[in-house]
Structure 1
Amino acid sequence: MPEKIQVNKTTDSNELEKVFAIRREVFVVEQNCPPELEWEFEDESNHFLATVDGEPAGACRWRKTDKGFKLERFAVLKKFRGMGIGQELVKSVLEDLPADADYVYMHAQIQAVPLYEKFNFEKTGPEFEEAGIRHYKMIRK
């Protein structure tokens, strides 16, 4: 088990390269997400990097949309899964949202729904496909 999981919000170009490398590995390589769908809204997003004992392990982001605040791109490298990194990422993002963030939502891959339910997100609407991957829209109650 890891000694120290740390999640930091980042705008540092070196750290952002690590964020993008994690997303590339998880989404583009592992899940065959088309690269042109993976890289969008980067400049308007708030990015987070999770490290385990100093080693890059996970990433995510949030951004303000015309609907509310959208949590996105939660990715944990395969060798770090099952260590609680996803939970730490969700906690950090939720703590970082503005105080007036009254509508918080995401498009969750179906295997990650139980994680988000722990943070009071509820599925809404039917299952749908995004980038060839099954998802549910989830809203925080």
Structure 2
Amino acid sequence: MGIEITKVTGDEELQLVFAIRRTVFVDEQCCPPELEWEFEDESIHFLARHDGQPAGAARWRRTEKGYKLERFAVLKEFRGMGVGQALVKAVLADLPADAQYIYLHAQVPAMGLYSKLGFVAEGNQFEEAGILHYKMVLY
């Protein structure tokens, strides 16, 4: 079976996405819940499954700057299996053909993953929800 990425179309899948994000960001990384849940209605969400099991989540949304990739989360037991890379590729493939400025805020430990896929760090390190990040842009 391997890794399968689907665009979320129903509430049941969206609840799985939210559960993954709650586990990774709120429980594991101690992100304040009020900072985790924003822009949900204007975002396009994705669910990753590994051998049929919910394993990861991500989303993209249009901002005033361009297209922002966000909330990449992979459950601990599925890390190192290619789920994150598959999510990034699926999200990028879903962007409109005319998407020009594509960026994300990468947690420092995840920068290597994004770099492999063409993202380049720009600017200074910053803190978001108590976690160190860099802005990364796709060129």
Q: TM-score range by the shorter chain?
A: over 0.9
Instruction: Flag as ranges the 4+ runs of structure 1 deviating above 2 A.
Output: none
Residue 138 of structure 1 aligns to a residue whose secondary structure is strand
What do the CA deviations read for 1:48-70 (whole angstroms, capped 9, x no partner)? 00001111000000000000000
**Whole-Å Cα distance in 1 between the matches of residues 120 and 91 of structure 2?**
17
Residue 15 of structure 1 is matched in structure 2 by 13
1:112-127 correspondence to structure 2 within 5 Å: 112-127=110-125
| 1:80-99 matched pairs, under 5 angstroms | 80-99=78-97
Task: Tell me the distance in 2 between the aligned counterparts of 1:53 and 1:120.
Answer: 27
Deviation for aligned residue 1:4: 1.2
Segments of 5+ residues of structure 2 without an aligned counterpart are none
Hey, what does 1:104 align to over in structure 2?
A: 102
Deviations 1:21-41 (A, max 9, x none): 000000000000000000000
Q: Secondary structure at the match of 1:43?
A: coil
TM-score of the aligned structures, taking structure 1 as reference length: 0.97
Task: Say whether residues 1:61 and 2:59 are aligned partners.
Answer: yes
Distance in 2, Cα, partners of 1:135 & 1:4: 30
| Residues 1:49 and 2:38 aligned together | no
- Rounded to whole Å, the distance in 2 between the matches of 1:32 and 1:89 is 23
1:119 CA drift (Å): 1.2
* Equivalent-residue separation in structure 2 for 1:52 and 1:37 (angstroms): 28
Superposed displacement of residue 11, structure 1: 2.1
In structure 1, C-alpha distance between the alignment counterparts of 2:47 and 2:5, rounded to whole Å: 6
Aligned residues: 139
Structure 1: state its 5+ residue gaps. none
